[in-house]
Structure 1
Amino acid sequence: MLKWLKRALLIIVLALFLFIAIFFAIRNDQLVTLDLVLWQGPVLSVALYMILAFAVGVILALLASSALLFRLEQRLRRSNKRIAKQQTELDALRKASLSTELTERE
């Protein structure tokens, strides 16, 4: 039940952003040229440059967060391996301790 609600909300939010982008593009149709120090961009509308800048920002944010996520997953895997190794050592020590107690009682 919750899955379809999430999808519906996602579709509504995406439609809202699309509506805002279209409205922004219609209202800002002035043509400009992007002039950087060593490169001059083509003549495009202000809205298109803004949307492109937003898209590039989203892509860069996704790349940065995926790199962080990858690093955290590696750390989690290393920690889980260390925990498993320590658990096997602890089990071996418990068995050794139990066997020495049993031999001392006899």
Structure 2
Amino acid sequence: MLKWLKRVVLVVALAFFLFIGLFFAIRNGQVISLDLVLWQSPELSVALYMIIAFAVGIVLALASSSALLFRLERNVRKKSKQLVSLQSEIDNLRKASLSSELSERE
């Protein structure tokens, strides 16, 4: 039921940001050249440099969050294995306790 609402909101948000990006690119058409210490970039529009910087930021954010996610998933798998091991140990101790109680009663 809420899937269609989520899709509509996503499409509206995407259209809004596309419109903002297009408006930004049209309004900032000045051509500049970035002069870094060891390298001088070709002349491109301000909007294109901003879009490139935004894209690089997205890629770096995804890479760093993916590394964190993989580390957390590895930790969860490790803890799950420990849990299974400890549960089997508890079951073995319970069985041993039951068998010792039964042998004492007899």
TM-score category of the 2 structures, normalised to the smaller one: over 0.9
The aligned counterpart of 1:22 is: 22
Aligned-pair identity in percent equals 67
> 1:84 matched to which residue of 2?
84
Give structure 2 stretches of 5+ with no counterpart: none
Q: Which runs of 4+ in 1 moved over 4 A?
A: none
Question: Hey, what does 1:41 align to over in structure 2?
Answer: 41
Q: TM-score, normalised by structure 2?
A: 0.96
Q: Secondary structure at the match of 1:41?
A: coil
Q: Tell me the C-alpha RMSD between the 2 structures.
A: 0.8
1:14, distance to aligned residue in structure 2 (A): 1.3
Whether 2:63 is the aligned partner of 1:63: answer: yes
> CA shift at 1:69, angstroms?
0.4
Aligned residues: 106
Which structure shows the bigger proportion of residues in strand conformation? 1
User: Given the two structures, how large is their TM-score scaled by the length of structure 1?
Assistant: 0.96
Indicate whether 1:72 and 2:76 are aligned.
no
